[in-house]
A = this chain, B = another copy of it.
Amino acid sequence: MKDYVFSINGKFVDEGDAKVSVLDHGFLFGDSIYEVVRTVNGKLFAADRHLKRLHKSAQALDMPLQRDDDWFIKHWRAMHKRRGGGESYLRIIVTRGVGPLSLDYSKCDKQNVIGIAKPLNVWPDEDYAHGCKVVLAHVRRNPKQATDPAIKSGNYLNNVLALKEAREHQGAEAVMLNVEGHVTEATTSNIFMVKDGVVKTPARKEGLLEGVTRGFIIEVCRQLGIRCEETIFTGDDLLNADEVFITGTTRDVMPVGHIGRHKIKRTPGSITIRIANAYHEVLHDPKNHQ
């Protein structure tokens, strides 16, 4: 079983050959997009939703994908097969490609597609049992009208700097506010709170990545008859919540126990547990496997 597996434009290469030109605009300007698909029992989970979002990112950056959906699905499968066992984290990055050293990308003709596969992340049991610790970052999330967080791109410094703040306080994740002071998302997860039986998550217009897991959770709430609102709330609202949890492709549903030094009322709360259990069924439902 292999740890890391690399590919360049569909061809598997050794780590030493897994390189891109320094004139690739993905390297020069972070001018690239990506998606991470995970496996469940060796099958691709929700690859159709990830592909849809990849197209959305591509459209926002004026870089229509030069390979078809079938190519991506087949390559995700090949990446997992190449690893040879266990569950996989399958990242595909599409760059603008090589071009002159200029912000003008009109001469970047050929996108480069980079594959990086590794074992699916394993998060501490403790974080699921008693809730993880997150911090409220000082650095604010890029606004929608500047570098839109809905684009899953190679511009991740904003999140790198927020996660640094979390690490400095032994936090697992950093929750980011927008410039208006509203909660948006965490650096690699979406955030939900529960107050008086109602589930709330920041609305898309606040500036965030529409997580695939986030989408499933909203559907799960509907099926369970739990009211779920896409709305506006602040850091203070989060501190006063009854329950808080974060969601993501590798994390699933992870309860939050502390925000900084503040302890969340119930960890994990009963609604979080119901949602986590229902999401577990979604994860293992063959109709979500490709």
Contacts and interface: CB of A to CB of B under 8 A. Distances in A.
B22 A164 contact: no
A20 B18 contact: no
Interface string A1-45: 000001010000001001111111111111100000000000000
Interface residues of A, number: 55
A274 to B, nearest CB: 30
Contacts of A25: 160
**Copies assembled:** 2
B21 A18 contact: yes
A78 interface: no
- Among A91, A93, A155, find the residue whose CB has the most chain B CB atoms closer than 10 A: A155
Interface stretch (A48-56, A145-153, A235-243, A262-270): A145-153
A66 B158 CA distance: 23
A105 interface: yes
A198 interface: no
30 contacts: A15-B21, A18-B22, A19-B19, A19-B20, A19-B22, A20-B22, A20-B27, A22-B116, A26-B27, A27-B27, A29-B154, A31-B160, A91-B101, A101-B116, A101-B118, A103-B160, A103-B187, A139-B145, A140-B143, A140-B146, A141-B146, A145-B179, A147-B147, A147-B157, A147-B158, A147-B161, A151-B157, A153-B157, A155-B156, A155-B157
